[in-house]
Chain A
Amino acid sequence: MSRLSFRPRPLDIHKKLPILKSIKDFEDDDSQTNTRNLILRLAAEATENEVPQTSSKKLAPEIPTPEYVVVDTYERDYSRTFAQPTSYIHARGARAEIGEFVEYDLDNEDEDWLQEFNKERKVLAAEKLETILYKLEVLDHKARERAGVIANTLGSPVPVLLSFDAAVEALQSLSIKYGVFQSIYNYWKDKRERWQKPALRRLQPPPPVNDTNPYNVFRPREKAHRLHTRRMQRRENNAQSFEKLRQVRRNLDQAKIILEALIKREEKKREVIESEISLQRLQMKHKNETELFEDTLALPEFPSFPSKVGSSEDEFVDSDDPSISRPHGRHITQNIPFRDTKVVTASPRIMRRDFKRRHVPHGWLHKLDPNEPPLLFTKPLDPAKLSAAGIIPPGSPTPNGLPARTFSFRGRMGRGGRIVFDRWNPLSHTPIECGDTLYVPPKARHSAHQ
């Protein structure tokens, strides 16, 4: 049954799976694939019959295990003195904290030494020796603690720091004969020098973290193992993490200085570019003005008025027309935001100044527009070629000779070779960009009506 000819979709653990209560449910739904179904069912039964067999075989006590026997001295060794309290037992402090318990148990060499020692004078009980050795261990540990030489890890030898005199003084209360105590101390010190580590296991340092010898056990776990989430890391409040955070702070401060310098540099760059732009504009304007001057000299029949007068005159002439008297107000209010946006863009002031100072009546015929934005793809129109091609610019003097329209358009060659006539805003004397505003110049309407 598990051998399907196709690979089943991986199982989504969040998807609710139907529980089929009977194998018959399988048969009911796809009767057309009867033979395959039958095979599957037989296979299922075969495997299902197999499963209990194998598992019962596993479950049966067939796995042989080593044996155990009952210790005959048990009942004597362990006294029947335990009475379970009615409430759940609560832990006391650890033995080391309670204090009076002698944690040390004599080992073989202690016992052998004691036997040897007691042969002469039966003076020292095993329990007494146990107590003394325990106290010596603890005192020595305290001495090392005071001296600040507690080894962090096993590997380097742990020397005895407790002097004999200090031990005698500390253990006066035990009232041991001086000679006996001296023997014990010497034995203990000798043992410790052989062991190179405390005899009491609790006081032995753990193996180093990077030690891979499997005989050494219970090494402290690396901090990195424990603190995986940031929340846990934050909780760690020690000198190490303090130092780490200080490092982070230093790094952040340095990054801030670098970023500030970067900003300064970029600002300088921008200033350089802006001054370059205005320089070029000035150069262009200068060049243009000389050309314009030459032009006016060359074509004396075209009168050149000051631009402001010309345009305002023009406006007034137009506003006399009743059809545009109302849109006039709207036109002004709408023009203000347009100007505002212009101010924001790069060096708009210069441009506007240019517009204002410009000689207006150049019309579309003007060959080189000084205010033509330095667009790569646009070219000024050649009026000769235009007339040759029979293209009459809009707003060019009509047969009835209204001069007003000459100000309304400006021709140029757009990119791709199209001929573009930009509508001219009569108030600001800037080109009206398509899509920039919904404003329809009244003049255009006016001419359309005509």
Chain B
Amino acid sequence: MGSIDTSTRVESGPDPIPTPNVTANGLSAGEDSVHPPAVDSTGASAENESLRKRKCSGVLPLEVGTRVMCRWRDGKYHPVKVIERRKLPCGGVNDYEYYVHYTEFNRRLDEWVKLEQLDLNSVETVVDEKVEDKVTSLKMTRHQKRKIDETHVEGHEELDAASLREHEEFTKVKNIATIELGRYEIETWYFSPFPPEYNDCSKLFFCEFCLNFMKRKEQLQRHMRKCDLKHPPGDEIYRSGTLSMFEVDGKKNKVYGQNLCYLAKLFLDHKTLYYDVDLFLFYVLCECDDRGCHMVGYFSKEKHSEESYNLACILTLPPYQRKGYGKFLIAFSYELSKKEGKVGTPERPLSDLGMLSYRGYWTRVLLDILKKHKGNISIKELSDMTAIKAEDILSTLQGLELIQYRKGQHVICADPKVLDRHLKAAGRGGLEVDVSKLIWTPYKEQN
């Protein structure tokens, strides 16, 4: 969230390990003990490593809140903040591992690291912990506010900085680091509130079909021998090629719905598992082969939404991301709304990736209409044609500066060249929803 530009900046640095990117402020060495605790303080340079280490051993174990450079998976050093620490099961007094947040990246990249990944030269001496804490918390607030303003133009308003911080405090450490799901072992992105029995493990094994989760591989293998499901436990409502969509009623398949939520929360920051699943329908998208129907993503939808939400949560599992499935899911949710004869909008807040997908979808759909349409058109008409809520249409068109105020009235600017440029930027939809293959009737309460 919101760290896109910083990430590109840092990654552009070609410096090899262990020299971190030298910043513009040109602070030469780690001598600067009164170095300000700034986010982009990377003013440490490679010096006499061993000497430094000995010097720094005085700061071990590192305190929570310490800022330090850490070697990431790209082999480069990035600034991190220590979020949490824990003793290694078999180690000395100072043998800890640290849960760090890469300040340039989204929280989803937070992870447990070993001491050897940290560059102790770059440890910022904590002059006064309390002052430091205050400064960082203030910084966080401002930072978060900016995050809200920049990347979540809408949707995060209901999350003020305080509640955002509370949320991050509660979920600051991922409980599960990796999961095995079918063919893939996936690093998780966020905390998920699994039942307390699962607090003692960092890897979970999910059954690919019924989504039951277990702590050991043998348990999963035993489960796979008896599991009779080869597809989500609902009705298939769409099939095109190897792609199938299943509708699962959270009331009829409570455990499945809950499993799906636990799983999805591992990849969604602002998902809530607060309420039970029986008021939701889950639309599970699968790739089918001779082993069964493998979930690639899903979206959930309230059976009765008072706020005209047509989608509550949407997720494409990481191994299937960037293949157009997310766009397909969004398009599908609007096709359902069209069948219902309703206008819909996704529940907020949207994640950074979610917002991108939605903006892209809205842009493509609206601009395709504007390109072809002859004569005047109202926002309401666009809304009726697409099932996209009028507010979303307005924000999309205004975001692209296509609505302009001319001579006392609003006009839509639809210069083909401009539209094509925006369409190109939005990317193509990839997988199209073939409405003729959707066999579905809107949900009705069965009493």
A residues sitting closer than 8 Å to B (CB atoms) are: 1-2, 4, 8-9, 11-23, 26, 29-30, 44, 47-48, 51-52, 55-59, 61-71, 73-74, 77-84, 88-92, 94-95, 101-103, 105-108, 111, 126-127, 130, 195, 201-202, 206, 214-221, 226, 228, 232, 235
Contacts and interface: CB of A to CB of B under 8 A. Distances in A.
Nearest to A110: B219
A63 B352 contact: yes
A84 B421 CA distance: 42
A80 B291 contact: yes
B304 interface: yes
A105 B352 contact: no
17 contacts: A19-B370, A19-B411, A21-B416, A30-B407, A48-B421, A59-B426, A80-B291, A82-B289, A95-B210, A127-B226, A202-B254, A216-B193, A218-B277, A219-B275, A219-B276, A221-B275, A221-B279
Nearest to B413: A20
A71 B183 contact: yes
A327 B273 CA distance: 93
B58 interface: no
A123 B224 CA distance: 23
B353 interface: yes
B292 interface: yes
A215 B439 CA distance: 38
Contacts of B439: 88
B29 interface: no
Contacts of A89: 231, 235-236, 244, 246
B4 A19 contact: no
A68 B187 contact: yes
Contacts of B413: 20, 23, 26
Nearest to B188: A66
Secondary structure call for the A interface: loop
A16 B248 CA distance: 41
Contacts of B289: 82
B193 to A, nearest CB: 5
B418 A106 contact: no
B39 interface: no
A8 B380 contact: no
B318 A21 contact: no
B276 A206 contact: yes
Contacts of B352: 63
Nearest to A66: B187
A226 B279 contact: yes
Given A58-B356, A111-B218, A127-B226, A78 B182 contact: yes
Nearest to A126: B222
B60 interface: no
A191 to B, nearest CB: 11
Contacts of B210: 95
Contacts of A126: 222
Interface in B204-238: 208, 210, 212, 214-224, 226, 228, 230-231, 233-237
B440 to A, nearest CB: 10
B292 A214 contact: no
A374 B195 CA distance: 89
Nearest to A222: B275
Interface stretch (B89-97, B104-112, B115-123, B131-139): B104-112
Residue of A13, A16, A195 with highest tally of chain B CB at under 10 A:
A13
Q: List 10 tightest A-B contacts by C-beta distance, closest first.
A: A66-B187, A8-B405, A16-B376, A13-B379, A217-B273, A88-B236, A68-B186, A89-B236, A52-B425, A82-B292
A26 to B, nearest CB: 7
A81 B209 CA distance: 13
B407 to A, nearest CB: 7
Contacts of A4: 405
B271 to A, nearest CB: 11
A188 B210 CA distance: 25
Given A90-B236, A105-B223, A214-B193, A67 B73 contact: yes
B27 interface: no
Interface stretch (B140-148, B153-161, B396-404): B396-404
A219 B261 CA distance: 13
B322 A57 contact: no
A107 B379 contact: no
A16 B214 CA distance: 57
A87 to B, nearest CB: 9
Contacts of B219: 105-107, 111
Contact of A235 (B377, B390, B422, B447): B447
A77 B221 contact: yes
A106 B377 contact: no
B418 A23 contact: yes
A89 B244 CA distance: 10
B430 to A, nearest CB: 13
B424 interface: yes
A109 B376 CA distance: 69
Nearest to B322: A61
A214 B274 contact: yes
A127 B231 contact: no
Contacts of A51: 400-401, 421-422, 425
Contact of B412 (A19, A26, A73, A232): A19
A152 to B, nearest CB: 13
A1 B404 contact: yes
